[in-house]
Amino acid sequence: MARPLPPLSALRPFEAAARLESFSRAAAELHLTHGAVSHQVRALEEYLGAPLFARHGKRVALTAQGRAFAERVRRALADIAEAAAEARATKHERLLTVSVLPSFASRWLMPRLVRFMDAHPDIDVNIAATAALADFAGGEADVGIRMGKGPWPPLVCERFLDDEYFPVASPKLARSAKEPRDLLRMRIIRDDRDDRDYWPAWFAAAGVPFEGAVERGPGFNDATFSMQAAARGEGIALARRSIIGDDIERGVLKRLFKVSVPSNESYWFVCSRASANAPKVLAFRDWVKAELASGERAGRKNSRQKF
């Protein structure tokens, strides 16, 4: 006779809340409301007859029973995800779905992707350009290129690229920026990821006193649009080295000053344990690394020629 199971719909919200130790962050990750996560956890606690979290106002912490249960649930969900991935493997053997940020997709990946397709004609590539986190267990993607602090267990995560920020502008607008402090009176293009953290950090690195938020120019939710607005002369933008492409070499954008600040986030390859050693995933990972290495060699060569 089969053993009775707890409410299965509550297991994912519980696992996320246990891993993040926050109902709010679990709700955001699963695209649920805070109340829905809290309700599911309460239902699980009622079924088990034991508290899984100690609640202190808005803060929660796992109890000893909750921590032990979370470890078992996490392993079980990972096993289910792995089994599901293996069951789908035959059907999707040729198709490689890559989840990637729109900015990285449009400004780094897409201009180079034809080389991957030429080298691997047996692999059909599908690019899912989105800022949303891919559901690897649900089969939304085989591999993701994610920018963040990582890693994100139980996924297999490999950091492959660090980044840095520096200001850029159209050549015409760049003539007005003689020194870093000139940027304080110029229109600043805002980026949801960049303006709050990296503009103050850049001004500090440049030795320029800075107070207040950067709010003078247009704001965008994706760096691709920030780069396009800067190229049109609409203001100064912070560029990530990873996605500046050849805009500087072609004269579309001009880098302002030699000061840069490192990103506190990196690019990561992310995939499920079941697909980590799939030939198509390994082929794509190795190709991206080779492209990056080739770009670094070209950059060093150009630097020697210029200086």
Place of tokens 């900015």: 103
Pair (184, 256) in one structural domain: yes
Pair (156, 274) in one structural domain: yes
Contact 168, 236 (CB under 8 A): yes
Domain limits for position 179: 164-262
Angle formed at CA 124 by CA 31 and CA 111, multiple of 5 degrees: 85
Pair (240, 278) in one structural domain: no
Q: How confident is the model at residue 305 (pLDDT cuts 50, 70, 90)?
A: very low
At residue 5, the pLDDT reads 84
Residue 205 lies in a domain: yes
Contact 104, 110 (CB under 8 A): no
Average pLDDT over residues 129-137: 85
**Domain termination residue (choose one: 68, 88, 108):** 88
Residue 304 lies in a domain: no
Check residues 54 and 139 and name the one with the higher pLDDT: 54
Question: What is the rounded distance in angstroms from the CA atom of residue 224 to the CA atom of residue 194?
Answer: 12
Q: How many angstroms from the chain centroid is the CA of residue 242? A: 13
State yes or no: pLDDT of 110 exceeds 80.
Answer: yes
State yes or no: pLDDT of 69 exceeds 90.
Answer: yes
Query: How many separate domains does the chain show?
Result: 3
Question: What is the rounded distance in angstroms from the CA atom of residue 116 to the CA atom of residue 110?
Answer: 10
Pair (284, 226) in one structural domain: no
**Domain termination residue (choose one: 65, 88, 111):** 88
Task: Report pTM.
Answer: 0.63
At residue 220, the pLDDT reads 82
Pair (258, 192) in one structural domain: yes
Q: Helix, strand, or coil here: 125?
A: strand
CATH number at residue 97: 3.40.190.10
**Domain termination residue (choose one: 58, 88, 118):** 88
Pair (275, 236) in one structural domain: no
Mean pLDDT of the chain: 86
State yes or no: pLDDT of 36 exceeds 80.
Answer: yes
Pair (231, 281) in one structural domain: no
